[in-house]
């Protein structure tokens, strides 16, 4: 387990080049630093992706991230309730997202093996019909103390609407695809806006995937 999750994210975000990935088990190196907000568009009906698979595209319609659900092991005695993999456009596993009992999620680098490096832990603090709040702790001293969180996620999974905050500053925000004079808005497609900063885009998408399942 590494210490100082923010240091890990910052160092990786400053790299100008990524190492060539030859196998799907290589460690995730993060994304390059960006200076403008970006929009990602999430849906389970993107062209070129099997129906029912949640994927995120950029403004040009290019697949950037995909989310695959791993079937549970019926013989396992673990407290795991669900595992999802966040993949890049080439199907390389970036993060594995493990849902445990009592509103706890853990996110690891790479594939779904819990022996991989822990990146962050998420704890649900509010759960109502219309609202969910999550506290995010990067691996390191704060996670040990479990006192002061690094990020907060607040919103409504049903409306696909949430805001991600770091020390009161807005890091990312999601919403349905509203249009002028539109009476009915489909919940099948939504926008995720990620603002410039040191938080890796892949981690933000992983947090949004956790948020969507925040009431489970």
Please give the C-alpha separations between residue 152 and each of 42, 53, 66, 122, 138, in angstroms, as whole numbers: 21, 26, 23, 9, 12
pLDDT value of position 1: 41
Structure tokens at 121: 């832990």
Structure tokens at 60: 């040009």
Of 111 and 143, more confident: 111
What gap in Å lies between CA 65 and CA 85, rounded to an integer? 10
Q: Per the domain annotation, does 81 fall within a domain?
A: yes
In this structure, are residues 29 and 17 in contact, taking their beta carbons and an 8 Å threshold? no
Region 66-79: mean pLDDT is 73
pLDDT at 140 over 80: no
Instruction: Convert the pLDDT of each residue in 21-47 to its tens digit.
Output: 333 343 334 444 468 899 999 999 988
pLDDT band at 82 (very low <50, low <70, confident <90, very high): confident
pLDDT at 13 over 80: no
What gap in Å lies between CA 66 and CA 46, rounded to an integer? 10
What gap in Å lies between CA 161 and CA 32, rounded to an integer? 26
Mean pLDDT of the chain: 81
* Structural domain boundaries, residue 123: 38-212
Structure tokens at 96: 């594995």
What's 201's domain CATH number? 2.40.160.200
Q: Per the domain annotation, does 33 fall within a domain?
A: no
Structure tokens at 212: 């969507």
pLDDT value of position 34: 61
Tally of domains in the chain: 1
In this structure, are residues 136 and 120 in contact, taking their beta carbons and an 8 Å threshold? yes
């Amino acid at each position: 387990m590494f210490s100082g999750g923010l240091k890990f994210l910052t160092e990786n975000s400053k790299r100008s080049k990524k190492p060539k990935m030859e196998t799907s088990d290589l460690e995730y190196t993060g994304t390059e630093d960006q200076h403008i907000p970006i929009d990602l568009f999430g849906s389970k009906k993107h062209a070129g992706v099997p129906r029912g698979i949640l994927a995120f595209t950029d403004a040009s319609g290019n697949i950037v991230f995909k989310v695959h659900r791993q079937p549970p092991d019926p013989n396992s005695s673990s407290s795991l309730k669900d595992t999802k993999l966040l993949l890049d456009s080439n199907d390389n596993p970036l993060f594995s997202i493990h849902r445990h009992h009592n509103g706890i999620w853990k996110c690891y680098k790479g594939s779904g093996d819990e022996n991989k490096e822990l990146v962050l832990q998420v704890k649900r603090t509010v759960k109502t019909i219309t609202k969910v709040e999550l506290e995010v702790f990067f691996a390191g001293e704060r996670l040990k103390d479990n006192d002061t969180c690094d990020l907060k996620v607040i919103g409504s999974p049903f409306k696909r609407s949430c805001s991600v905050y770091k020390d009161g500053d807005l890091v990312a925000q999601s919403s349905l695809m509203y249009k002028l004079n539109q009476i009915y808005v489909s919940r099948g497609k939504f926008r995720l806006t990620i603002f410039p900063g040191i938080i890796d885009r892949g981690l933000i998408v992983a947090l949004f995937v956790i948020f969507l399942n925040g009431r489970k």
